[in-house]
Amino acid sequence: MTLIETPASLIPTLPGRDYTDAGFFAAEQEHIFEKMWFCAARASELTGPGSFRTVTVGRESVLLTRNRGGEPRAYFNVCRHRGARLCTEESGQAQRSFQCPYHAWTYDFDGKLIAAPNLTKMPDIDRVQYGLAPIAVREWLGYVWVCLASDPPSFESTVLQEVVERLGDLGALERYGVEDLRVGRRISYDVGANWKLIVENFMECYHCATIHPELTEVLPEFADGYAAQYFVGHGAQFGEDIQGFTIDGSPGVEAIPTVDDGQDRRYFAVTVKPQVFINLVPDHVIFHRMYPLAPDRTVVECDWLFLPGVVESGVDLTASVQLFDRVNQQDFDACERCQPSMSSRLYRDGGVLVPSEHHIAKFHDWVHQQVGGDAVRSTPRP
């Protein structure tokens, strides 16, 4: 193959192997998902002490629960005796404690080892040291965020900063009161594509006119191919005849009362690296969390959040949910269409980004910075 110089309007993407290679994926798990703050679950899923959920973060299984005081807690889901996985269910309610099903080592909701066969005959065992290993945890926007690093990065200068960079200030997001909204619908998508393809797709709107007829009807400016995320603080305006962010432009539900005039009739999108997308419209919030499970497999959990009164009223949410469910399916189909080609010899050096996608190159550079020096871009940058 003859090497041709990349024209100025195009920027090379990552090489294909970055989307297929097990070693590269392992490096991402180690240096991205196990080091950064990771949005693990909706806080309301942990209803009280001992209510639990298990999630995969990087290469680890993480056990999320609440202690007797109702505080969120996160632990490595690994028994300190001989390593059995403590909880195998995806969610549940522990009665008084977590008991390992192998030899019955038993831990309280603060992780302390409180019982084990013959434990009294081993008085030298420190029950905290041999308790469940804790993971940094905090709640924000009504979600439980964890960080597996022993020295977690500042939440403010990472997660919050991403929102500031995109929306201009944190208040713009706070006005949606996301922590007080209720899950009206959750859909989980098992996507046969690398997590980066999903992020890249979310960051651009060059594809909108081709694959999102319903969305471009509601947000006509998306037909131009410039995503809302292209400009700081910009939200795409609803079309003139559009009454709500719904599949057919029909009126939505009761608007979030604290949303201001500049946010009314607009759609804002935020990417919080590495695995969260937040979509804001006047009457609901669509919140995506990705769980990358393999180089070619990512589970995406998507919540549609509404005012509590709207969810409790039992009003039909279908028209609101259908719009982004359709968008999700269209996007994930596109990502799945790209994934097999990542291992094609034709994509060995990657593809190209057009000008309205140039900001994706920053994401590519960021990935490479995180995973370290040996994963070098194979195509020279202009």
Q: How far apart are the first and last CA of the chain?
A: 20
Cβ closer to ligand FES: 102 or 231? 102
Site string for ligand FES, 229-248 (x = CB under 6 A): --------------------
Cβ(241)–Cβ(310) below 8 Å = no
- Options 6, 26, 45, 84; binder of ligand FES; rule CB under 6 A: 84
Residue 100 CB, shortest distance to ligand FES, in Å, is: 3
Cβ closer to ligand FES: 86 or 172? 86
- Options 32, 57, 79, 276; binder of ligand FES; rule CB under 6 A: 79
Cβ closer to ligand FES: 105 or 226? 105
Residues 213-232 interacting with ligand FES (rule: CB under 6 A)? none
Write the single-letter amino acid at 68: R
Write the single-letter amino acid at 112: K
**How do the residues of the chain divide into helix, strand and coil, expressed in percent and rounded to 5?**
30, 25, 45
Binding residues with ligand FES: total (CB under 6 A): 10
Binding residues with Fe ion: total (CB under 5 A): 1
Residue 331 binds which one of ligand FES, Fe ion, none, with CB within 5 to 8 A depending on kind?
A: Fe ion
Residue 103 binds which one of ligand FES, Fe ion, none, with CB within 5 to 8 A depending on kind?
A: ligand FES
CA distance 101 to 308: 38
Q: Hey, is 240 helix, strand or coil?
A: coil
- The residues near 52 (Cβ < 8 Å, ≥ 6 apart) are 46, 63, 64, 65, 87, 91, 92, 93, 94, 98
Residue 115 CB, shortest distance to ligand FES, in Å, is: 11
Residue 381 CB, shortest distance to ligand FES, in Å, is: 50
Q: 355: cis peptide before it, omega within 30°?
A: no
- The residues near 314 (Cβ < 8 Å, ≥ 6 apart) are none
Residues 313-372 interacting with Fe ion (rule: CB under 5 A)? 331
Residue 105 CB, shortest distance to Fe ion, in Å, is: 47
Window of 58-66, 77-85, 120-128, 291-299 that interacts with ligand FES by CB under 6 A: 77-85
- Options 6, 45, 81, 297; binder of ligand FES; rule CB under 6 A: 81
Write the single-letter amino acid at 279: N
The CA distances from residue 290 to 40, 67, 135, 169, in Å, are 9, 26, 19, 25
Contacts by residues 91-97 (CB-CB < 8 Å, ≥ 24 positions apart):
91/45, 91/51, 91/52, 91/53, 91/54, 92/51, 92/52, 93/47, 93/50, 93/51, 93/52, 94/50, 94/51, 94/52, 94/65, 95/50, 96/50, 97/50
Residues 98-157 interacting with ligand FES (rule: CB under 6 A)? 100, 102-105
Residue 81 CB, shortest distance to ligand FES, in Å, is: 3
Residue 102 binds which one of Fe ion, ligand FES, none, with CB within 5 to 8 A depending on kind?
A: ligand FES
Cβ closer to Fe ion: 283 or 331? 331
Residue 153 burial (10 A CB sphere; 0-12, 13-18, 19+) = middle
Residue 118 CB, shortest distance to ligand FES, in Å, is: 12
- Options 82, 337, 362, 381; binder of ligand FES; rule CB under 6 A: 82
Rounded to 5 degrees, φ, ψ at 191 are: -100, 130
59 part of the interface to ligand FES, by CB under 6 A: no
Residue 79 binds which one of Fe ion, ligand FES, none, with CB within 5 to 8 A depending on kind?
A: ligand FES
The binding site for ligand FES (CB under 6 A) comprises 79, 81-84, 100, 102-105
